[in-house]
Amino acid sequence: MLLIGNATVLTFDEETPIINNGAVLIEGIKIKEIGETEVLLQKYPNAVFKNARNKVLMPGLINTHTHLYSTFARGMNSKTDIPPQNFIEILEKLWWRLDNTLNEDDIYYSALFAILECIKNGVTTIFDHHASFNYIDGSLDIIAQAAMEAGIRANLCYEVSDRHGQTKSDASLKENERFIRKIQVSQNDKLGGMIGLHASFTLEDRTLNKASELADELHVPFHIHVAEGREDLQDSVKRGYMGVVDRLTKFKILRPHTLAAHGVHIKKEEIPMLKKSGAWVVHNPESNMGNAVGAAPIKDFFDHEILTGLGTDAYTHDMFESIKVANLLQKHQLGDPQAGWNEVYNMAFNNNMQIVSNLLGVEIGKIKENFRADLIIVDYIPPTPIEKDNVYSHILFGMNGGMVETVIIDGKIIMDDREVTILDYERIHRRTREQARRFWERF
């Protein structure tokens, strides 16, 4: 048993939201007991004790939309005479070329290094959306291998798109099917699978029909980009639909528990339709700002009780950063200093937890008895008291991923004193840089 004590424990449990000088006892993969440090020390004298004095102990963070394959884009020369001028050109000149260049080693090291960056920033669960049209069959197994080696929780999918032709589109659907069937018979509850789709404007009716039939057969939802750019909306209108939601609903893509990433250009008239579908939205504020596509109507989603989670779209692996920017973006967009406060908190600490519970089937996101022991220790010494009514203020204005000192997943210490313990981080870092250089030469 592992006992972490002398911490300010942020439980995210309404019954006892904060425990000063608190302790958490971990037995196996679950939280066995929480309470005051001295009480648990006396009760469990033989437990291994980890001292978290003057530090914050809280649940690991969850990222419900990211792209691990984007790792090698950092600092890369895009080799274009004219830089991208709009969202479509960003896709065509950068991302679609990148995902069509990846080979087996690229997939592995870009995933592994990105996962390690997630861990170093206190993220213990990710929902990844993968594309590698030069290497489709078996690509999700490569990412799953990286995830398991690093010890993180991961829900994976392959991005189906018709932009490279029907043959590769069909192969992408088969990769989703192969991986999901494999996951469904495995005993590994750290891995999950969904059917990945790129976006409505790169998907033809035939592919949407095949994907919908496959989802019915496998009993899984989708992970898809929805109305990220205005071009997605315009394409659906050109096809005779009200908008993207209208088209995807007609093909039963938007169904219970489907993750609809972005949602920036969903028409107001379509929001009740989205609610009725049972699909969920994942907000990615920094990516939307960086691509200049706009700001998602988060308040409208909440007003219609559409469950909305928070991701990063791989713009960062620091969910503390995404929380901060999501809060600021809503205030800026709506001209209201009160906007985004409750919504962003719920996205990061309630809704992401619900998404994991439903799609991975594990209870995480709270420090509560019998919940999985996915925890982080944050080296945060506040200038003011942390109390039950100001916990979120301290997270929002005081914490960042660089303060994360220890990461525990399923009761196992993955990072301790800012050093990744499960893998040789320095060796992987060196090998990743070598692989990135090779990738840049091929790009």
Q: What is the pLDDT of residues 309-324, one digit of tens each?
A: 999 999 999 999 999 9
Kindly state whether residues 292 and 383 are assigned to the same domain. Answer: no
Spatial neighbors of 141 by CB under 8 A, at least 6 apart, are 179, 182
Number of domains present in the structure of the chain: 2
Question: Do 157 and 301 sit in the same domain of this protein?
Answer: yes
Residue 391 lies in a domain: yes
**Domain range holding 405?**
2-60+363-420
Bridging pattern class, strands 153-160 and 412-416: unpaired
Residue 120 shares a structural domain with residue 239: yes
Final residue in a domain of this structure, among 340, 359, 378: 359
Q: What is the CATH number of the domain that holds 393?
A: 2.30.40.10
Tens of pLDDT, residue by residue, the chain (443 residues): 999 999 999 999 988 999 999 999 999 999 999 999 999 999 999 999 999 999 999 999 999 999 999 999 999 999 998 999 999 999 999 999 999 999 999 999 999 999 999 999 999 999 999 999 999 999 999 999 999 999 999 999 999 999 999 999 999 999 999 999 999 999 899 999 999 999 999 999 999 999 999 999 999 999 999 999 999 999 999 999 999 999 999 999 999 999 999 999 999 999 999 999 999 999 999 999 999 999 999 999 999 999 999 999 999 999 999 999 999 999 999 999 999 999 999 999 999 999 999 999 999 999 999 999 999 999 999 999 999 999 999 999 999 999 999 999 999 999 999 999 999 999 999 999 999 999 999 99
205 and 288 co-located in one domain = yes
Q: Are residues 167 and 125 in the same domain?
A: yes
Pairwise CA distance, residues 440 & 169, whole Å: 26
CA-to-CA distance for 288 and 84, rounded, in angstroms?
Answer: 15
**How many CB atoms sit inside 10 A of residue 98's CB?**
22
Tell me: do 72 and 29 sit in the same domain.
no
Find all residues with CB under 8 Å of 102, minimum gap 6, and list them.
69, 110, 132, 134, 135, 439
| Whether 183 and 328 share a structural domain | yes
Q: Are residues 260 and 212 in the same domain?
A: yes
Q: Looking at the structure, do residues 17 and 70 belong to the same domain, yes or no?
A: no
Label residue 302 exposed, middle or buried (CB < 10 Å: 0-12, 13-18, 19+). Answer: middle
Helix, strand, or coil here: 380? coil
DSSP string, 315-376: S-S-HHHHHHHHHHHHHHHHT-TTTTHHHHHHIIIIIHHHHHHHHT----SS--TTSB--EE
Distance CA(414)–CA(9), nearest Å, equals 19
- 429 found inside a domain: no
Is the domain of 18 the same as that of 92?
Answer: no
Do 191 and 309 lie in one domain? The reply is: yes
Identify whether residues 318 and 371 lie together within a single domain.
Answer: no
pLDDT at 187: 85
- Distance (Å, rounded) from C-alpha 23 to C-alpha 2? 10
144-188 residue pLDDT tens: 999 999 999 999 999 999 999 999 999 999 999 999 999 999 989
Would residue 318 count as lying in a domain? yes
- Among 307, 326, 359, the domain-final residue is 359
